[in-house]
Amino acid sequence: MSTEHDGETTKRTLGRGDFLKLGALTVGSGVLAACGAEGASEPEPAAQGSTEKAEERPPIESEPGDLNILEWAGYEYPTLGGKGGPLQPYVDQYGKPKYAFLTSDDQALGKVRAGVTPDIVHPCVSYVKDWVDLGYIQPWDTSLMPNFKDLNPSLVKNAQYEGQQYFVPLDWSFSAPMYRDDMVEPEGGEDTWAVMYDDRYSGKISWWDSPLENFLIWGYVQGFDPYDWDQWTDDVLGDATSYLIEKKKNVRNFWSSEPDMIADFKNGNIWIAYAWGNAFSQVKSSDVSVVYGDPKEGRLSWNCGLVLAKDTENYRHAHEYANAWASAEMAAWLIPNYAYGHTNTTVSTADIDPALVEAFKLDDPTALEEPKAHIERYAPDRRRFARAWEEVKAA
């Protein structure tokens, strides 16, 4: 599985930049060292690295209980699950959490650096190392989450960093070009990522406002593996930037809020967009004729989940919330409603519309991997891509 590759990538790219980051955050690295020492001696897949045993922590009643969550739009209660849905038991018992919204993983990192201090964040797995480097998160105590054992073991292992369970993997799905099949005909008749650059549909295209993915897409269209970081010489990056700047004139806007993009699709403002599976199921239900592409270069795939703030005062509340997310009820709601996969393995997809199951391979988490799709991977020099993306946006 991609775990080995991931680990290899991580170790291989532990270069100057990472060393400096780790060394500089002395407090963070102190904790990391302590956790790392503990974790290294425990080879089980779900390692616990918290510096306190669960029993030594104060009881839940002594916590303030004002859980602050940095989430994707659409994952907040009550939009997620509705009233009476999988989060309702948590809300009934502990109250409704406060949500702040992130528009991308990069932006979430930026927000936290700029002083927003959530108890829980919902990033995607390729960013775990970034969060650890930032010194903001601590590993989860999986013994506090009864539902944790039901989660897919290989995704759980993939979510660890240096043996510590920093990340609870929860939702997964794809990113692909979604388009109106009554208005758009991809070049060459086959689904392709190149439809995002198609001059014929100028003004009806929307890209996601996030640096890395846009460059990955270009790389795949060019025909090389964009996760091979050595390929991204300054020249190559420059070429990509110029190409994107040129094709930008076809783009109506860079979407940053999924509900916005969905609305634009429903209203006919946009015919082609970089989209996650949820957008497809929402738009499809509104009689706009839309197709979730399966590009010949391969879809991108992702696995997102929850991380825990190091300085949280709501330790047990956070675990309760994460447990609610990991539950079979959540999986049973998420899969048919958002057309996303969920890492809880006890849920059967038998009752779900087979067309959806087929389209998103909902019963097969290995569908996230090569060569069927390109699972997200850690990027060592995000700033470089962020700067190039800024150039594209500003041009």
Partner 1 sequence: MDIAISTTGRHLLKALFAVLCLLLYAPLALIVVFSFNDADIPTELPEFPFKGLTLNAYREFIANPELTAALVTSAKVAAAASAAAVVLGLLASMALVRRRFFGKALASAFLLSPLVIPYVVFGIALLILFHEISFPLSMWTIVIGHTVIALPFTILILSPRLARIDVRLEEAAHDLGASGFRTFRSITLPLMTPAVVSAFLVAYVVSFDEVVIAQFVAGNTVTFPIYLFSQLRFPTNFPQVLAVAVVVMAASLLVVLAAEIGRRIVERRLHIELEGRADEAPPPTSAEPAAPQAERV
Partner 2 sequence: MAVDARPVARSAPFLRGRRRSTATTAGLIGTPIVWLVVFFLVPVGIAALYSVGVFSFFPGEQRFTLTYWKDFVDGSVYLDVFWRSVKISLLTSVIAVLLAYPLAYYLALVAGSRKYVLLLILISPFFVSYFLRLFAMKVLLGDQGVVNSFAYWTGIRDPEHPIPQLIYSQFAVVTTLIVIYVPFVALPIFAALENLDRRLLEAASDLGASRWQAFRKVTLPLSLPGVLAAFVFVFIPTLGEYFTPLLVGGTSGHMFGNSIADAFLSSQDWQTGSMLSVFLLATVAILMAVFARFLSMQRLETE
Binding site for partner 1 (CB under 8 A): 68, 73, 76, 79, 96, 98, 100-101, 103, 114-118, 256-257, 259-260, 263, 267
Nearer to partner 1, 121 or 156 (CB): 121
Q: How far is Cα of residue 300 from the mean position of the Cα atoms in its chain?
A: 11
When CB distances are held under 5 to 8 angstroms depending on the partner's kind, the choice from partner 2, partner 1, none that residue 395 binds is partner 2
Nearer to partner 2, 247 or 299 (CB): 247
When CB distances are held under 5 to 8 angstroms depending on the partner's kind, the choice from partner 1, partner 2, none that residue 57 binds is none
C-beta of 35: minimal distance to partner 2 in Å? 21
C-beta of 386: minimal distance to partner 2 in Å? 4
When CB distances are held under 5 to 8 angstroms depending on the partner's kind, the choice from partner 1, partner 2, none that residue 372 binds is none
Distances (CA, A) of 83 to 80, 170, 186, 256, 358: 9, 21, 41, 26, 29
Using DSSP's 3-state secondary structure scheme, residue 179 falls into strand
Distance CA 215, CA 219 (A): 6
When CB distances are held under 5 to 8 angstroms depending on the partner's kind, the choice from partner 2, partner 1, none that residue 386 binds is partner 2
Q: Please report whether residue 248 would count as binding partner 2 according to CB under 8 A.
A: yes
Contacts of partner 2 in 79-108 (CB under 8 A): 104, 106-107
Amino acid at 45: P
- Could you tell me how many residues of this chain bind partner 2 (CB under 8 A)? 33
Nearer to partner 1, 73 or 386 (CB): 73
Q: Please report whether residue 14 would count as binding partner 2 according to CB under 8 A.
A: no
**Segment near partner 2 (CB under 8 A), from 19-27, 284-292, 307-315, 354-362?**
19-27
C-beta of 21: minimal distance to partner 2 in Å? 6
Contact assessment for residue 122 and residue 306, using Cβ atoms and an 8 Å cutoff: yes
Picking from 319, 323, 324, 325, the residue whose alpha carbon sits closest to that of residue 50 is: 319
Q: Which residues of 127-138 are buried (b: 16+ CB within 10 A; e: fewer)?
A: bbbbbbbbbbbb
C-beta of 19: minimal distance to partner 2 in Å? 8
Distance CA 3, CA 158 (A): 5
- Choosing from 159, 251, 272, 368, the residue that interacts with partner 2 (CB under 8 A) is 251
Distance CA 317, CA 36 (A): 25
Q: Please report whether residue 355 would count as binding partner 2 according to CB under 8 A.
A: no
Q: Please report whether residue 15 would count as binding partner 2 according to CB under 8 A.
A: no
- Choosing from 64, 203, 238, 354, the residue that interacts with partner 2 (CB under 8 A) is 203
Q: Please report whether residue 345 would count as binding partner 2 according to CB under 8 A.
A: no
- Choosing from 253, 259, 288, 313, the residue that interacts with partner 2 (CB under 8 A) is 253
Token output for 379 = 């990027």
Sign of CA dihedral 369, 374, 378, 380: positive
C-beta of 169: minimal distance to partner 2 in Å? 25
Nearer to partner 2, 208 or 315 (CB): 208
Q: How far is Cα of residue 51 from the mean position of the Cα atoms in its chain?
A: 27
- Choosing from 254, 296, 336, 337, the residue that interacts with partner 2 (CB under 8 A) is 254
- Choosing from 53, 98, 149, 383, the residue that interacts with partner 2 (CB under 8 A) is 383
Distance CA 104, CA 9 (A): 22
Amino acid at 137: I
- Choosing from 15, 30, 64, 110, the residue that interacts with partner 2 (CB under 8 A) is 110
When CB distances are held under 5 to 8 angstroms depending on the partner's kind, the choice from partner 2, partner 1, none that residue 115 binds is partner 1
Distances (CA, A) of 245 to 30, 224, 240: 43, 20, 9
Sign of CA dihedral 6, 12, 17, 22: positive
Picking from 351, 326, 334, the residue whose alpha carbon sits closest to that of residue 155 is: 326
Picking from 321, 382, 394, 395, the residue whose alpha carbon sits closest to that of residue 104 is: 382
Specify burial of residue 64 (Cβ count, 10 A radius: 0-12, 13-18, 19+).
exposed
C-beta of 271: minimal distance to partner 2 in Å? 10
Residues of this chain that bind partner 2 (CB under 8 A): 20-21, 23-24, 104, 106-107, 109-111, 113-114, 203, 211, 248-249, 251-254, 267-269, 382-383, 386-387, 389-391, 393-395
